[in-house]
């Protein structure tokens, strides 16, 4: 019989930040700039261990979705989707209207959540000024956007 796994998705606790950073490093994602957005950073925990993450950097009615990662053994189980949808819920609660992201590895994955490619120059200037845009992500990273206008829309 498989042992039962208790999964939760919650705002990262200070004691889980080192494990979060380890997950991001293992997933080849940047950590730069995240420390000032930890109150909008979600982690998935399985039996108390950090196994996934998704974070928002909020800039008024816009936000950058970043640090979406799932620990390798749990990839392909739907946890990535749960994290992205939890980040959407968090964004809606905070009246965010438009989400942006930069990705080098998952430009084929995010369209299933309604993201479409965007020119960097068309991104909200406040988001363009973020550390991810200015230095942490290479110029080759694809910018994407999604409107979050309606409650109930996914």
Ligand X SMILES: CC(C)(COP(=O)(O)OP(=O)(O)OC[C@H]1O[C@@H](n2cnc3c(N)ncnc32)[C@H](O)[C@@H]1OP(=O)(O)O)[C@@H](O)C(=O)NCCC(=O)NCCS
Residues that bind ligand X (CB under 6 A): 27, 29, 68-70, 75-81, 103, 105-106, 108-109
Nearer to ligand X, 33 or 80 (CB): 80
Any idea what DSSP says for residue 149? Answer: -
CB of 55 to ligand X, least distance (A): 9
CB of 136 to ligand X, least distance (A): 11
| C-alpha distances in Å from residue 75, one per residue of 49, 81, 83 | 15, 10, 12
Residue nearest ligand X (C-beta atom)? 80
Nearer to ligand X, 17 or 136 (CB): 136
CB of 105 to ligand X, least distance (A): 4
| C-alpha distances in Å from residue 120, one per residue of 35, 104, 130, 133 | 24, 14, 12, 9
Nearer to ligand X, 3 or 76 (CB): 76
Nearer to ligand X, 49 or 95 (CB): 49
Return d(Cα 144, Cα 151) in angstroms, integer: 21
Residue 131 structure tokens: 């550390």
Return d(Cα 67, Cα 21) in angstroms, integer: 10
């Amino acid at each position: 019989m498989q042992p039962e796994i208790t999964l939760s998705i919650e705002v990262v606790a200070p004691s889980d930040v080192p494990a979060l950073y380890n997950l991001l490093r293992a997933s080849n994602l940047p950590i730069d700039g995240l420390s000032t957005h930890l109150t909008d950073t979600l982690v998935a925990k399985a039996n108390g261990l950090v196994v996934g993450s998704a974070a928002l950097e909020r800039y008024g009615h816009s936000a950058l979705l970043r640090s979406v990662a799932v620990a390798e053994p749990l990839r392909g189980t739907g946890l990535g989707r749960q994290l992205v949808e939890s980040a959407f819920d968090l964004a809606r609660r905070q009246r965010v209207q438009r989400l942006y992201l930069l990705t080098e590895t998952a430009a084929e994955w995010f369209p299933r959540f309604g993201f479409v490619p965007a020119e960097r120059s068309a991104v909200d200037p406040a988001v363009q000024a973020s550390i991810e845009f200015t230095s942490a992500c290479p110029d080759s990273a694809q910018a994407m956007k999604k409107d979050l206008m309606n409650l109930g829309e996914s």
